[in-house]
A = this chain, B = another copy of it.
Amino acid sequence: MTMVIKPACVCDSGNGMPTPFLRKLEQLGGLSPEDRMAIRLAISHQKVVPAHQDIVCYGDKPKAVSVLVNGLACRYKIMPDGRRQIVSFQVPGDICDLPSLVLGRMDHNVGTLAKCTIALASHGALRELIDTHPRIRDALWRHSLADAAIQREWVSNIGRHSAYQRLAHLFCEIAFRLEPVGLKKADGYEFFATQADLGDALGLSVVHVNRVLQQLRSDGLITFSANTLAIRNWERLQDVAGFSPAYLQPDPSKSGEYGAQLPLRDHYRIERANGSRERGARARTIGPKPGP
């Protein structure tokens, strides 16, 4: 069912390029050559997992950490009534079960949405790395915090956006996450999620996802078929989504350039008429989800 691949190909995909994982950690931490070699050695092997299969389950205590090398996976929870809520997507370079390294037990499931390649690193090896390589430790810590930032963004996306905006926002997020691992093409990207998956991620019904996708298409923003998302109007897509990539932490070593990545629209400050210094803990609280 799962075929094991020799370790050699884990970190060099033939042409000498580092895998998405290293590229992502690099982006997070600024690793030294020695750090990179150490990570290479910590990865024991790779395996291929078919689509619609769980990588780790709620309650599991994995003894190794799974890194998504290829494919698409998702974190999800199953509600008491049996419905699924996808809580985030996992793209190549993401660590699926990092929380378990530190917390022990998984509080959610991670499952594949398409055929995936997974690299495994034992907890023991990683703990060793963390204790001896502070930069790796920090990169991993940053990884978990970046994950949390995505979750926060999802809360606000689901809580306060219309279906139209939610989809737009999700497509923007995935675009920005695929870019640093080299999987975003000029006009879009491959995205192996069904409309049902999108619904489960955004708290919508399949039927509605379908209709809203058609509207996004007829509005000339995107096209989505044959597992390919084509972005037709990048500007407007970000605009309707109210999307700002700041929460997808860019390279902290280039923190000087960070500000340059903040679009103007991003300065979501409350400008109160009375010029109060209270900036937002009590903001306008009109109801959610304005129409498109």
Contact = CB atoms under 8 A, between A and B. Distances in A.
A145 interface: yes
Contacts of A289: 203
A77 B141 contact: no
Interface string A112-150: 110000000000000000010010011001101111110
A287 interface: yes
Interface residues of A, number: 90
A255 interface: yes
A156 B79 contact: yes
A286 B83 contact: yes
A289 B207 CA distance: 15
A142 B102 contact: yes
A188 interface: no
B280 A84 contact: yes
Nearest to A286: B83
A172 to B, nearest CB: 13
B54 A281 contact: yes
Contacts of A53: 277-278, 281
Contacts of A57: 279-280
